[in-house]
Amino acid sequence: MRVDGLVLAGTMPVTDAIRDAARRVPTVIAGMRDLVLPTVDLVAEDDAAGARLAVEHLVDLGHERIAHIAGPDAEVFRQRRAGYGEAMRAAGLGEHIRVVTADMTEDAGLDCGATLFASDPPTAVFTVNDLVCAGAMAAASDAGLSVPDDVSFVGFDDSSIARMRWVGLTSVDIQPHTVGSVTADFLVDRIAQPDRAAREHLVEPRLAVRTSSASARHSSRWR
């Protein structure tokens, strides 16, 4: 299509075709963290910082047994998992670190939630994205647990799912408008100077607090 520039948005497999295109056409990555080339710029949310926000919010609510449903093997999801672990250890909760891994689907969230709530359930769950969180919340309901009275949830992405009133999901807002705006500015610069050294810009996330997270219940149920 003879384009002047290319944006690689979101997570995707890094194929030889993508690498070749990024070498030939001025390219900026928006969100993905698995392709590194000397003249390809990166604009992304700070995934580790977002995960720390989520855990710190739950810790502030009095939660200690905070589990994480992690994503598959991609750098953005590794960053979220690392941020979870860092925040747990910083809060003195390293012994309560508990991670299960899911595909990025509601069904995977349901299965992982069922595993978490089958025995020794956590009082809070932080998930790799909102869709997985919706499945995990359904698993909590299937286990007879009330959200947020028995278990709190925090998702990631602040998607339309989180903003639905009947869901009311507390979620990490990755500031997609800002990511897109900075990406566009970077691409204009990259087209003007295609051989310039690569730049990286991480956008600071925010936490959108809704009704899925509440103070921990320190009852015998959780002992």
1 in a structural domain:
no
138 and 196 assigned to the same domain: no
Q: What integer pLDDT is reported at residue 116 of this predicted model?
A: 97
For residues 58 and 123, is the Cβ–Cβ distance under 8 A?
A: no
40/51 same-domain check: no
In a shared domain, residues 194 and 85: no
Do 63 and 150 lie in a common domain? yes
Judge if 36 and 99 occupy the same domain.
no
What local confidence, expressed as pLDDT, does residue 84 receive? 98
Both 132 and 53 in a single domain?
yes
Domain assignment of residue 68, yes or no: yes
- pLDDT tens-place string over residues 164-204: 999 999 999 999 999 999 999 999 999 999 999 999 999 99
CATH of the domain at 124: 3.40.50.2300
pLDDT at 36: 86
Residues whose CB falls within 8 Å of the CB of residue 124, separated by 6 or more in sequence, listed in order = 58, 61, 63, 65, 66, 67, 151, 152, 153, 154, 213, 216
Q: Is the pLDDT of residue 222 over 70?
A: no
**Average of pLDDT values for 5-31?**
89
Write down the pTM of the prediction: 0.91
Q: Over 70: is that where the pLDDT of 219 sits?
A: no
Residues 107 and 190 in one domain: no
pLDDT (tens digit, 9 = 90+) per residue, 94-128? Answer: 999 999 999 999 999 999 999 999 989 999 999 99
Q: Which of 48-52, 70-74, 216-220 has the lowest mean pLDDT?
A: 216-220
Q: Which residue has the higher pLDDT, 27 or 12?
A: 27
Beta strand pairing status for 170-173 and 152-156? Answer: parallel
Domain match, 36 and 52 both = no
More confident residue, 53 or 9: 53
The answer to whether position 190 is within a domain reads: yes
Residues sharing a CB contact under 8 Å with residue 135, sequence separation 6 or more, in sequence order? 105, 106, 107, 108, 109, 110, 111, 112, 113
- Alpha-helix residue ranges (DSSP H) falling in the chain: 16-24, 47-60, 75-90, 106-118, 130-142, 160-163, 176-192
Does residue 23 sit in the same domain as residue 121? no
- Residue 192: give the domain boundaries: 6-46+174-205
pLDDT for residue 119: 86
Domain count, the chain: 2
pLDDT at 221: 39
Same domain, 158 and 99: yes
Note the pLDDT tens digit of each residue in 58-101: 999 999 999 999 999 888 999 999 999 999 999 999 999 999 99
Chain segment 131-175, per-residue pLDDT in tens = 999 999 999 999 999 999 999 999 999 999 999 999 999 999 999
3-state secondary structure 96-136: HCEEEECCCCHHHHHHHHHHHHHCCCCCEEEECCHHHHHHH
Residue 223 lies in a domain: no
